[in-house]
Amino acid sequence: MNGGDGYQSYAKNSSFQKGAIEVAKEIIEEEIRNKLDTEKLSSSSTNIICIADFGCSTGPNTFHAMQIIVETIKKKIEKQLSVSHQMPEFQVFFNDRISNDFNTLFASLPQDRQYHAAGVPGSFHDCQFPKASLHFAYSSFTLHWLSEVPQEVADPLSPAWNKGKILYYGDKNEVFNAYAAQFAKDLDSFLKARAQELVFGGLMALLVCSESNHTKNISTITFPSFELLGSCLMDLAKEGLFDTAKVDSFNIPMYFPTPNELKALIEKNQDFSIERMEILNYPPKRFTTPDSKSFAIFIRTLIEALLQSHFGSSIMDELFRRYEQKVEESKLLSNPDESSMMTFVLLKCKQMT
C-alpha cells in the first residue's frame, strides 16, 4: 500500500475498507460477547489480553477496528469482574510486511487509545508470535494478497502463461487453477501460523474480499478495473516505453475466493471451527469512489508499489493518467462488476494435539 499521508496514500484513500469494517462492527461485537471466554482470560496469571491485526497497513482503519475489539472485550469483562480481580491490560500488535510504512502508522496512533501498541513486521503467512500468546486475531482486506505470484503464470513454456494479462481473466483455466492453488497454499499457511499463536479457544475475525460462487471457469470471471489497467500497460509497451515482454511477466498477486471455496479450505485445515460465516451487506466501490479520478487514485494506492518495482517509477503518472481516462470512458463506475463481495468469518482455535 502507498505509505505516508499524502493525497495518493492508502491512509487518505481507504474509506471503502473502513466502510466494510463499520458494517461488520455489530457482528464482531456480538460474537465477542457470545463466544470469547473473558472469565478465563481475565483470571490468567499475566492479566494481559493480547490482540493482533494481521495486515494492518498504515491506518486509520486498523485503529478503528482495534478500538471496536478492545472496547467490546472491556465491557464484557467489566460485567464479570469480581472484587478480587482487576481489569486486564491490553496489548495490541500491528503486523504487516516489512515494507509497510510503520512510521506513518505509529505517528498517527490515537492518543486516547486503551492499549499498549507494538509493531511486528513480517509476513502474515508465517508465524510472528510465540505459541499460545494471542487471545484475539483480526485481519481485513488481507487474505486476497498472495505470498507470491504463481510461478507458472510468468513462464512462457507453461500452459498457464498469462501472456498480456495481469490477473486471472481471459480464456485460460490453467491460469485460474494456478492462482487458486496458490491461494489454497497461502491460506493453509496463514491458518496454521495463527493456530500456533492463538490460545485454545481464542477467536479470529476475518473480513475477506470474495467473489460470488461461480463455476471455476475463467471465462465467467472478469476484473474490469484490472483489465483496463492491463490495457494501459500494453498501450505504453506498444509505444516503446518498455518491451511487451515486461507486461507478459507482470502479474498481480491477488486472488478472490468464493465463500464456498473459503469455507471448504478452512474446514480442510482443521485447526479452527467456523463459528460464524456470512456475506456482508456492503455496497460496491462506486459508492466511495464516485468519479474516475478518485477511482484511479484508489487503485494506485493499492498496487503502485508492485508496478514501480517491475516497471520503474517514471511511468506512474502517465500510466494512471491514462487509466483515469479509460475509467472515465468506460462504464466501470456506472455499471461495476457486482460479483465482488465481503465475507465475514469468525473462527475459534481448537485444542492443539
What's the confidence (pLDDT) of residue 171?
A: 79
Give the model's confidence band at 352: pLDDT under 50 very low, under 70 low, under 90 confident, else very high: low
Asked, as a colleague might, if the bond just before 224 is cis with ω within 30 of 0, I would say no
Spatial CA neighbour of 1 closest among 93, 106, 102, 92? 102
Q: What is the mean pLDDT of residues 187-206?
A: 97
What's the confidence (pLDDT) of residue 46?
A: 72
Which residue ranges make up each domain of the chain?
15-349
pTM > 0.85: yes
Q: Which CATH superfamily is domain 15-349 in?
A: Vaccinia Virus protein VP39 (3.40.50.150)
pLDDT value at 316 more than 70: yes
Alpha carbon of 199 to those of 40, 73, 99, 118, 147: distances in Å? 11, 16, 29, 19, 25
Residues 269-293 pLDDT 10s:
999 999 999 999 876 555 566 789 9
Give the model's confidence band at 299: pLDDT under 50 very low, under 70 low, under 90 confident, else very high: very high
pLDDT value at 44 more than 70: no
What's the confidence (pLDDT) of residue 241?
A: 94
What's the confidence (pLDDT) of residue 340?
A: 74
Residues 217-240 pLDDT 10s:
666 778 889 999 999 999 999 999
- Using the Cα atoms of residue 167, residue 173, residue 179 and residue 180 in order, give the sign of their dihedral: positive
